[in-house]
Amino acid sequence: MILYGRHFPVPAGGEIQLSVVYSISLLGIIAALLSAAAWRKFNNRALPWILRKLRISSADRNRAAWESVIANEDSGPSSITVVKKDGAKLMSERLADFENAPFGPAILGSDGSVAIYVTHFKNVDNEDWESNEVDYEDWGPEITVVPASEISEIRIRHSRRPAILRMWGRKKTDNSANDT
């Protein structure tokens, strides 16, 4: 407000118009929100990456590996396989196909639960993966929620291609649903 008097003429009584005070306050709030959003968006990945490249620290400020995985949920995984405690396996392949689904391509819960669109499954007594129809024309995509208490292992695969190429999805091969 001190600088305001130097650059703009101040009325005779020395008051600053209330609309100017509101405008400056609003700009300050907007600047704070934008900087907080940028800090939240880029700091979670950028700062640990910089510290790791400079060989200062390999820590990412999370106490558990699962916290790191869900903190980078938007990193573009290409497939998720859930191995249940009974030995059954559920796979969601080509997650980019579900980008516009109601819940996104997958949900990784903070409690360890997972919600995926199961494209392939393998029962304990079966050696081959079986395909599963996920997207029904009239009903929409079917998401499967697996509670943390039923999960033995979670395998998350990321494409090596840049995000711009990932939007077209990877080419499907004959062995794309093999056991990993």
Tell me the helix, strand and coil percentages in the chain, rounded to 5: 35, 20, 45
Residue 173 lies in a domain: no
pLDDT band at 98 (very low <50, low <70, confident <90, very high): confident
Question: Do 159 and 104 share a domain, yes or no?
Answer: yes
Nearest to 133, CA basis, from 141, 125, 122: 141
In contact, 82 and 107? CB cutoff 8 Å: no
Residue 174 lies in a domain: no
Q: What is the domain count for the chain? A: 2
pLDDT of residue 168 exceeding 50:
no
Of 32, 61, 90, at which residue does a domain stop? Answer: 61
Question: Do 94 and 34 share a domain, yes or no?
Answer: no
pLDDT of residue 117 exceeding 80:
yes
List, in sequence order, the alpha helices (H) in 62-153.
65-71
* 3-state class (DSSP) for residue 82: strand
Domain boundaries, position 111: 76-166
